[in-house]
């Protein structure tokens, strides 16, 4: 069940929000501690979904700062008026003196940490007379969430369990799967009543919280930071499109080795791995692909029967994007490929081009870096200003030249671009760089950074599900996000 927590400051706004929230949420929590001059009856009269009365004091993370007797009196009034649930803090439950026909949620909050004695606290909540026990604790590391999942699985009584904070977000998505009575969401971004709350629309439509069950396969992106990652939007849309019972989670991970090791018990079926973990994660794989060994970085984990396999779809996605516009069986074999830049992206694509039989030359501003990388890959190299002298079929830009805000810059003079060439730019912000615009004007076939990004995700999806990725759906999500909706 998804519960919308209302944090409006006035009665009128709270009542209007209750009506709106009732379209998406299964149950509504009225946070009376946010409302000036609150009254209980109008909520009961206008409710569409079951309602919870909460009047949280400041000491438990709420807004109520007045007299304690008045605080409890409002909850008694709410019970008498017919609220379905009354939320009362563990230390105040005796003062409530019963709640009539309303069910009592006895709650415990810890804004500092996930305490060691979660089970003991849960026992106290149940012993205090909880119809439903609620524990909301702060996650300081994503591994804290495993303890909430363990608690929920073994609770034996109706329980709401969650970790607050960005590291705890997955408990808000997966809580119900492990038995949480409900999961709280915010009416909208910026209206969170606790740290880490997800907007209810995303809970319902993006993460499909109410459809998650014991068979739902779990995937996620390991990153730090993770909040701006487009991957949850892309992969969840793809699972939804294909009708696959799976959910893709944002995983804010500080220590990737400990995370992957400890999360084996959740049987996650796959991960995307991104900055800053692409190198460190290799150490905790059971097997890695040859490209991962060559490149020394990976971005994809596939769980096959409990064994974790590492791949690099930055490389595979770029190859797929380039090869798809060339056609033929081995489109890169024997083709002359010039690659600009000698950083991480160049490394990933360079090994791929070489493995596909392309004749590669790497040009870089810092020539020593081009020489070093070319030495490892086994290809030619040179300074950037050699570009006009070269004859080639494919041009690949992996430098950041032309990236927002320097959109008037280009890494290649327009007159080197000839009709029929393939020009690929790894930059995706803007979607059409000056390089790609000039290439298109001269009759080149262009491939954008968006194509690479979408294809690396599509390759992940296909490895995880053994079905064709809905590439157009995935591309539309990326384009929508890049355009800022």
267 as an active site residue: the answer is: no
- Is 385 part of the annotated catalytic residue set? no
Structure tokens at 204: 């319902």
Pairing of strands 300-304, 270-273: antiparallel
- Written as six digits, the tokens of 320 are 């797929």
> Which range touches ligand ATR (CB under 6 A), out of 97-105, 308-316, 393-401, 463-471?
393-401
DSSP state letters, 7-21: --SSHHHHHHHHHHH
Q: Among the candidate windows 10-18, 65-73, 286-294, 360-368, which touches ligand ATR by CB under 6 A?
A: 360-368
10-16 long-range contacts, CB within 8 A, separation 24+: 10/35, 10/36, 11/35, 11/37, 11/38, 11/39, 11/42, 14/43, 15/42, 15/43, 15/46
State which of positions 400-429 bind ligand ATR (CB under 6 A).
400-401
Please tell me the count of residues contacting ligand ATR according to CB under 6 A: 14
Question: Out of 84, 314, 393, 451, which one is annotated catalytic?
Answer: 314
Q: Would you give the binding string for ligand ATR spanning residues 319-348, x where CB under 6 A is met?
A: ----------------------xxxxxx--
| 134 noted as active-site residue | yes
Q: Is residue 216 part of the contact set for ligand ATR (CB under 6 A)? A: no
Specify whether the CB–CB gap between 436 and 414 falls below 8 A. no
Specify the stretch interacting with ligand ATR by CB under 6 A; choose among 20-28, 59-67, 361-369, 476-484: 361-369
The nearer residue to ligand ATR, 345 or 465, going by C-beta atoms, is 345
Q: Nearest approach, Cβ of 409 to ligand ATR (angstroms)? A: 7
For residue 400, the minimal CB distance to ligand ATR (Å) is 5
Active site includes 314? Answer: yes
Least Å from the CB of residue 297 to ligand ATR: 9
Does residue 43 sit in helix, strand or coil? helix
| 3-class SS string, 190-216 | CCCCCCCCEEHHHHHHHCCHHHCCCCC
CB of residue 220 to ligand ATR, shortest distance in Å: 22
Q: How far is the CB of 213 from ligand ATR (least distance, A)?
A: 39
Phi, psi of 218, deg, nearest 5: -110, 130
Nearest to 292 by CA among 271, 313, 272: 313
> Tokens for 301?
């984990």
Our CB check for ligand ATR shows the closer of 183 and 397 to be 397
> Shortest Cβ distance from residue 399 to ligand ATR (Å)?
3
With 0-12 / 13-18 / 19 or more C-beta atoms within 10 angstroms meaning exposed / middle / buried, residue 234 is buried
Please give the Cα distance from 17 to 183 (Å, whole number): 18
Place of tokens 């804290």: 144
Q: Is 183 in the site for ligand ATR (CB under 6 A)?
A: no
Q: Which is nearer to ligand ATR, 365 or 437 (CB)?
A: 365
Q: Which stretch binds ligand ATR (CB under 6 A): 37-45, 230-238, 396-404, 456-464?
A: 396-404
| Count of beta carbons in the 10 Å neighbourhood of residue 308 | 20
User: Per rule CB under 6 A, is residue 229 in the interface with ligand ATR?
Assistant: no
**Where does 327-447 have alpha helices with state H?**
344-355, 367-377, 434-441
Among the listed residues 17, 84, 109, 144, the single catalytic one is 109
Q: Which residue is nearest to ligand ATR (CB)?
A: 343
If we measure between CA atoms, which residue out of 350, 324, 355 comes closest to residue 338? Answer: 350
> Candidates 11-19, 54-62, 76-84, 362-370 — which segment interacts with ligand ATR by CB under 6 A?
362-370
State which of residues 236, 364, 456, 459 lies at the interface with ligand ATR (CB under 6 A): 364
Catalytic residue among 235, 278, 354, 359: 278
At its nearest, how many Å lie between ligand ATR and the CB of residue 457?
A: 17
150: exposed, middle or buried (Cβ count in 10 Å: 0-12, 13-18, 19+): middle
Which residues form the interface with ligand ATR (CB under 6 A)? 341-346, 364-366, 369, 398-401
Active-site residue numbers? 109, 134, 278, 314
């Amino acid at each position: 069940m998804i519960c919308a927590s209302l944090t409006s400051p006035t009665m009128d706004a709270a009542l209007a929000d209750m009506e709106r929230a009732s379209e998406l949420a299964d149950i509504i929590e009225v946070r009376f501690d946010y409302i000036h001059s609150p009254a209980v009856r109008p909520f009961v009269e206008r409710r569409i979904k079951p309602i919870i009365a909460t009047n949280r004091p400041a000491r438990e993370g709420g807004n109520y700062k007045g007299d304690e007797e008045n605080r409890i009196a409002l909850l008694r009034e709410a019970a008498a008026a017919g609220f379905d649930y009354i939320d009362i803090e563990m230390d105040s439950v005796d003062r409530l003196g019963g709640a009539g026909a309303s069910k009592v949620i006895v709650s415990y909050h810890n804004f500092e940490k996930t305490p060691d004695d979660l089970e003991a606290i849960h026992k106290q909540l149940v012993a205090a007379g909880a119809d439903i026990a609620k524990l909301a604790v702060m996650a300081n590391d994503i591994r804290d969430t495993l303890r909430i999942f363990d608690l929920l699985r073994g609770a034996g009584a109706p329980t709401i369990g969650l970790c607050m904070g960005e590291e705890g977000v997955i408990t808000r998505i997966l809580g119900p799967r492990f038995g949480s009575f409900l999961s709280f969401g915010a009416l909208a971004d910026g209206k969170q009543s606790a740290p880490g709350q997800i907007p209810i629309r995303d809970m319902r439509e993006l993460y499909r919280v109410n459809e998650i069950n014991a068979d739902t396969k779990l995937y996620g992106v390991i990153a730090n930071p993770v909040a701006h990652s487009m991957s949850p939007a892309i992969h969840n849309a793809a699972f939804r499109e294909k009708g696959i019972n799976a959910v893709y989670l944002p995983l804010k991970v500080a220590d990737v080795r400990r995370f992957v090791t400890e999360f084996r018990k959740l049987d996650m079926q796959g991960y995307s791995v991104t900055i800053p973990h692409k190198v460190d994660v290799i150490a905790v794989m059971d097997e890695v692909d040859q490209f991962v060994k060559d490149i020394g970085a990976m971005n994809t984990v596939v769980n096959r029967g409990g064994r974790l396999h590492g791949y690099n779809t930055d490389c595979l996605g770029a190859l797929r994007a380039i090869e798809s516009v060339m056609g033929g069986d081995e489109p890169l074999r024997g083709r002359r490929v010039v690659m600009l830049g000698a950083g991480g992206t160049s490394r990933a694509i360079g090994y791929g081009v070489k493995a596909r039989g392309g004749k590669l030359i790497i040009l870089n501003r810092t020539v020593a870096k081009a020489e070093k990388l070319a030495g490892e890959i086994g290809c030619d190299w040179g300074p950037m200003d050699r570009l006009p002298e070269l004859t080639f079929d494919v041009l690949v830009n992996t430098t950041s030249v032309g990236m927002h805000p320097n959109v008037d810059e280009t890494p290649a003079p327009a007159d080197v671009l000839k009709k029929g060439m393939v020009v690929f730019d790894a930059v995706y912000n803007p979607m059409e760089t000056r390089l790609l615009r000039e290439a298109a004007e001269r009759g080149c076939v262009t491939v954008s950074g968006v194509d690479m990004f979408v294809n690396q995700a599509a390759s992940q999806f296909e490895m995880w599900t053994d079905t064709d990725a809905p590439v157009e759906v995935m591309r539309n999500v990326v384009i929508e996000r890049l355009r800022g909706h």
